[in-house]
Structure 1
Amino acid sequence: MTTPSPAAASLAPGGLALDESSAPRKVVAAWSAYDFGGNAFNTVMLSFVYSVYVTGTVAADKAHGQVVWSNFQTAAGLVLALLAPLMGAWADRVRRRRLMLAVSTLVTVSAMAACFFVRPENSYLYLGAGLLAFASVTQDIAGVFYNGMLPHVSTPKTVGRISGTAWALGYLGGVVCLVLALFGFILKGGMLGLPTDDAFNVRCVALLCAVFMLAFSLPIMLMGPDGEPREGEPFRIGAAYRDIARRLAGMWWHERGLLHFLVSAAIYRDGLNAVFAFAGVIAATAYGFSKEEVIYFGLAASVSAALGTWLFGRLDDRLGPRPVILASLSAIVALGLGIVVANRASVFWVGGILISFLVGPVQSASRTLLTRIIPAGEENETFGLYATVGRVVSFIAPALIGAFTAAFGVRWGIMGIVVTLMLGLAAFWPLRIDGVTHRQAR
């Protein structure tokens, strides 16, 4: 990677990590299928169905359930912040990405399946919240290895399209699994006619998600890109943490552009994550959406996000990731302000769908930008740092949402998301990224 002066705040492509030859189509398809299957956990388990079951049905008191859920998720974030860069460094050392992805994915699937045994009794609250927190950690660790494969399944000309297509498939996978859960299991026992006593039908959703994720993860486990172990000293945990600490300290002098990107991206990604995490709550509390309307809104938002991510992935390859990120973030901020000012349910519907259309492109373009500038051999460690820095600042959006809500009312919680995105946009804007379109990269 180009070594900038201490005062520099720019990025240039490393020219090392991205392969110049295309991976076989079946490998690219296998890599993309993993996103399709994995989003069952995020959409169904964490966002719309199982988390609601744990906090609202398993817990005897909803407020207590929300507190327990929040505490377990906070603990999960801290554990991930410690483990993600270590796992990435390990993967770069032993070069067994496929094996490590398989192990972390299988552990996640097992934890999801075990959620079936969480009965609708308060004594199972800690088990349910704990299993989901554990699964969120192992899934995010799997994501480090998964993202580390992107340089090896794409070229400088195709990285935006491949990343965007996979991210779009992730949204669609969440929609498909949610529809299967709703109509097959939940609504009056679903088309399968499952008994609703003891929440059996809802508990079976955990098995559905586990099978769904496993089925679409198997291809990458069998044919994903791998590598030979490095020669030299064996991997040691203490030495790995020291190396990671040295790299973080040295970024100020030798990789300031990368450090700038990791911090700014972490801020705006926190705002983007809050869009889906809080949209349903705000829709119900501020605009009077029923449970069914919230679900329909979630489905429409996910489809919109999939379409936007797929389309902008092509622009990423043509224009580079920076214009995609800047334009999308600016539009999201404008739409968010419009929703607050209008204060109408119809505007929330339209604005929310348009915002969803732009969220995925920013996430995908951020992944491709990082992929383009990572030197070979540091893919997994760098994506581990990407996850860690994101977790470190993940308090910003929730804190601002809470502050605006407490001060001005529920609908003003949207301003917490808007302000977080504005902070991330302001931090990212000065960063100059040279030569990251495919024309210069080739």
Structure 2
Amino acid sequence: MSETTVTTQQQATRTGRWPVVAWGLWDWGSAAFNAVITTFVFSVYITSDSFGDGASAKLGWALAGAGVLIALFAPITGRRADHSGRRTFWLSVNTALVVLASTGLFFVKPSPDYLWLGLLLLAAGNIFFEFASVQYNAMLNEISTPANVGRISGLGWGLGYIGGIVLLLIVFYGFIDPEVGLFGVTGEDGLDVRVTMLLCAVWTTVFSLPVILTIRDDKASRRPRTEVVSVVESYRQLFQTIRLLWQTDRNTAYFLLASAVFRDGLAGVFTFGGVLAAGTFGFSPGDVIIFAVAANVVAGVATIAFGTLDDRWGPKKVIVGSLSCMLVAGTVIFFLHDRGATIFWVFGLLLCIFVGPAQSASRTFLARLIPEGKEGEIFGLYATTGRAVSFLAPAAWSGFIVMGAAVTGVADKDSAEHWGILGIMLVLALGLGFLTKVRATENPASSLSS
């Protein structure tokens, strides 16, 4: 199927409500891996004292390694799926691999002997989750029109936040908080966390099935295997797109670079927020989950509220203002880390307030830069550039912990964990610096040639 051809199946999909809901439910289901596993439960568990000294830094290196692999392979997965006409198939495969990785985390017992098993499974889950996200995001054009693409995209984003809140509450009250939870589960041998991993696997499976069963691959659009583009050719086409963009619309290229960097910093805030709360500020696993619920609530509400400011002031001012406020809040957390949990509650939630608006305004900014008719191509590159630098925040987090331990002279790297904040702030500051070079224009003078 060519880019300018819309099949009858696609037309029916675009006009139905259920396909939109089914698509959004994948985002709801993805909260199991994003919110529970990567951010607020398993990452906190794997960096606890039970896994030995330096677990937090090792987590950063594992995620950095995953980011490198994502950067090498994710850019071509969407292009190859589009070319082969098997987008839903690859969404299914990669989602299934995420489920398998989540299930495997059940076997990670609280002992240093299981540290690298947990880190490798978590890294693998991150890789396959990003591959699945490429296919999922590419489906947006199949279930939307130019008139409602923003609302549908926002629906998915919102369902992700809400799904995270619901699942975290189930986990907290069902397994983490009670001395004896559902099915007689206790905290002995980490069983409460490990059973939560099984629940995450089930959650992901159940809420991924609707989109997989609803938005089917169009057999008529599939190309023969002999026409499938090779890996080398896929990379050649990718570099050709980047070169063309640099030659014809450099302002958009600058923004893609800036947004890739600061979006990775934004992801780092949530990825390592729970680890920091537990390791530096003494939050219990239950406290971390309560903070996670509050963080998702303020992030969701702020993202909706800041949409008005985006329209009134323009997205660049929203991004600059959000990143600047986050840098101030992060600096305060670093210097006042020994003042107790209240500091993290106040300034940690302040950080979360500005994460969603910065992400949303980033997408809006690009939408106003894209020449007409190039939306799909440039938004695909937007996803690509973000994944290409997804190792920055984890590497900066771990690198600054190592540096902090050397500067302070502590033998226990976990005692220098708060230095990781500076690594995340550095990534945000770099992105903000690159953003100052971008013109805030809604009608770029240049456009891409075909």
Question: What TM-score results when the alignment is normalised by the length of structure 1?
Answer: 0.80
- The equivalent of 2:197 in structure 1 is 206
Please point out which of 81, 93, 106 is paired with 2:71. Answer: 81
Whether the aligned pair in 2 keeps the contact of 1:270 and 1:394 (CA below 8 Å) is yes
- Pairwise CA distance, 1:265: 0.8
Task: Report if aligned partners of 1:84, 1:387 keep a CA contact under 8 Å in 2.
Answer: no
Alignment match, 1:46 = 38
- The aligned residue for residue 215 of structure 1 is 206
Q: Distance in 2 between matches of 1:153 and 1:325?
A: 28
SS of residue paired to 2:239: helix
- Distance in 2, matches of 1:399 and 1:126, equals 16
Report the counterpart of residue 354 of structure 1 in structure 2: 350
Residues 385-432 of structure 1, C-alpha deviations (whole Å, 9 max, x = no match): 234333254457426754884558766654444443232122113323
Q: Report the counterpart of residue 246 of structure 2 in structure 1.
A: 252
Cα deviation for residue 352 of structure 1 reads: 2.3
Q: Report the residue type matching 1:301 in the other structure.
A: A
Deviations 1:327-377 (A, max 9, x none): 322333344455567775545423322321220122233345556738266
Work out which of the residue numbers 14, 22, 43 in structure 2 matches 1:30: 22
Call closer, same or farther: CA 1:311–1:297 in 2, change over 3 Å.
Answer: same
Can you give the 5+ residue segments of structure 2 that lack an aligned partner in the other structure?
409-415, 444-450
1:423 is matched with: 430
- 1:144-203 alpha-carbon deviations (Å, 9 max, x no partner): 111222334344454444333422322222222222222212332314322555443332
Matches within 5 A, 1:325-336: 325-336=319-330
Structure-2 separation of matches of 1:184 and 1:421: 36
Q: Which has the higher contact order (CA 8 A, sep 6+)?
A: 1
Counterpart CA distance in 1 for 2:395 and 2:428 is 10
| Structure 1, 134-143 or 117-126: larger mean CA deviation | 117-126
Map of 1:166-177 to 2, 5 A cutoff? 166-177=156-167
Residue by residue over 1:88-111, the C-alpha shift from the partner in whole angstroms, topping out at 9 and shown as x without a partner, is 220221233222212211221122
Amino acid at match of 2:24: S
Aligned pair 1:91/2:81, yes or no? yes
Mapped to 2, the partners of 1:175 and 1:120 lie a distance apart of: 26
Change (3 A) 1:261 1:62: same
Partner of residue 239, structure 1? 233
Q: Where in structure 1 are there 5+ consecutive unaligned residues?
A: 1-14, 437-442
**Partner residue, 1:365:** 361
**Would you say the 8 A contact 1:88–1:382 is kept in 2?**
no
Alignment of 1:14-25 (within 5 A): 23-25=15-17
Q: 1-side partners of 2:132 and 2:112: how far apart?
A: 31
Deviation for aligned residue 1:288 = 5.2
Distance 1:329 1:70, change over 3 A: closer
Question: Counterpart of 1:4?
Answer: none
- AA paired with 1:364? S
Question: Which digits, 9 at most, give the CA deviation of each residue in 1:199-231, with x for residues without a partner?
Answer: 433321111001111222122212238663469
CA contact (8 A) 2:68 2:388 kept: no
Structure 2 CA distance for partners of 1:170 and 1:125, relative to 1, 3 Å? same
Q: How many residues align?
A: 420
CA offsets per residue over residues 259-305 of structure 1, 9 Å max, x none?
21221012211221222233344445655555544433232112111
Identity of aligned residues (%): 39
SS where residue 378 of structure 1 aligns? helix
Q: Is this contact kept in 2: 1:162–1:313, CA < 8 A?
A: no
Q: Using the TM superposition, give the Cα deviation of residue 46 of structure 1 relative to its aligned residue in structure 2, in angstroms.
A: 1.8
For 1:433 and 1:391, locate their aligned partners in 2 and report how far apart those are by CA, in whole Å. Answer: 25
SS in 1 for 2:354: helix
User: Residue 127 of structure 1 is aligned with which of 117, 120, 123?
Assistant: 117
After TM superposition, the structure 1 = structure 2 runs for residues 150-169 of structure 1, keeping only pairs within 5 Å, are: 150-169=140-159
Task: Quote the residue 2:106 is aligned against.
Answer: 116
CA contact (8 A) 2:66 2:123 kept: yes
TM-score (norm 2): 0.79
Distance 2:442 2:160 in 1: 29
In the TM superposition, what is the alpha-carbon distance from 1:112 to its structure 2 partner? 1.1
| Higher deviation after alignment, 379-388 or 297-306 | 379-388
**Aligned mates of 1:41, 1:69 — CA distance in 2:** 16
Change (3 A) 1:120 1:282: closer
CA contact (8 A) 1:266 1:393 kept: no
